[in-house]
Structure 1
């Protein structure tokens, strides 16, 4: 469906070459100071035509607030916003009248609905993510001002080019040695811990690849250009950190925090993988070394000495940094001639036209941040509703103190 969220509900609309794309956001708290500029920053980071590493489609993606905001303040009513499609070239896609493009959604959309968009990818196009990014920017504005929550994503790999192992996400670091050797270092190296704690969007945006490591970024640039020159494409991964999230978010058992994050991330076009914390590397480490022991932090709160869990335990946030990685496949639409078949099964050769990203991960960074913001926002509203309802009840005196948080801490 086209709606995401329980209390902070976002419905997106629009196809790749229709008149406009946008969203309706229901559940935004009233009284939030909000302007189009708060949204435009992230939309401009997502838009096409940013560099020679992205599609040349020339869209400014200027957002227009339609409702829910008066004199720069949210009313608590649905916020409507739209972005007009200006650089439309539907004639670039006439070949899809005969051919379902390999690994694209032309065939599956037709099979599901019995009808499909005549141009581009329709709803499967990344144009749809404009509504997500706008809604995520509004959520981030609230999260930052109300809780000091920060969300920063960056490119951690392109093709076979990864960040150096010292600052790579845990599962990107291979476990070396014999298969019967359980010795392992903490997957969060000091360098990776520092990156998670200090990385900013300004630092990420210094590089067209959005990989905050100069040497690796340069290699990634060359790899993407090589794919572009060959009329081909290449995939990659985006790593994201969420800082200052309070403990207690997540709705076990089916809506655990990481389950909602996985749902959100795998709904982004071109995604094929999601992992949180130690990810797949955690399967290679014995529990005695993987467990996160509790310690009293400098600020007095209870925390963990390590963070293999990625800030989530039992499906509920524990107050530590939440970090995860999302895998994006190589874009399906390429200009190379490909041997394939028409809708009627007749063999043929297809060389797709149109303007496409040779690698989506640089532009995917703000989309990952937006979907993370939608999850955190929704889970905070749900948890705050629970806490408010519980606060109206008398203090519990019939249970041992170890079973109940003091009234002021609930």
Structure 2
């Protein structure tokens, strides 16, 4: 499973034993794979400041997860490939996401723990905001190019009735620059090829004999040329329609055809040039954003643990990976049983339980006797 539960309990002797009991029960019952989750000691500040930070971190957590999900989806869209291929590019520090989370170490160089918590949170928030801004501008430019290319490609798709013919016909297929003659393109159903050959010269007066030629065909029919005098165009169209032959409105314009082909070549070239740099940017910055997100999770555990368990700071964080979707209910029951004694402490050690305070989430449906945060790595679902 790509789901993780990040929990914490007080670090005193009684609760260390409770954690050991939890590890024993979950291991024997094959409920989860558990690892310690190391979080450094931060400058705590006041409890009031922690309550404010708790609320801010909750919003930052939501924003960070939304950002990495958008970036993961952008990788899929840019690669125009299966999710399996895209997943190979979604790494953190060069390793898969599960390995990064289960072996998490706080990045002291990037987010110094000696700084005030507010400064650490501000650094991460600014980093994620910059990544989002760059993501919007880079993907917008690429998507505009992609849309223009797709719109042009659509003109070259479809059947003979709807698609452009500029890539099918050539200058030699037409009588050009004639005051009297014109070459028309006619779509003939496949079953009617023989009828066309027998009758096209007599559909109207002034049709040039033996002037028809099959240019191309699809599943339904073929595209034929026919040359005739300009003054009988309308009469020929009418008679052709009566015989289930369709005249395509198309006039050979060498400049327009050249422009269209050059535009297609330019868009394909631009897309190819942008593809590599954009994919590399997404890979690098997805990694940065994901790493920042897990640091936010660590900060949330720290802040919530101090608010729940009080000072001095003394708690143990553990990362649980449920092994089966079907056993998550049982795992939750084990945790609630092992840490039931914390409920009274969590509700009364800081504030009266009836007071709703951001960060404590006492009235929230995800409230448990222990600190709990969820991590979902199924970013492409």
Into which bin does the TM-score normalised by the smaller protein fall?
under 0.3
TM-score by length of 1: 0.19
Name which structure has the greater RCO, CA cutoff 8 Å, separation 6+: 2
Question: Which one has the largest radius of gyration?
Answer: 2
TM-score by length of 2: 0.20
Higher share in helix: 2
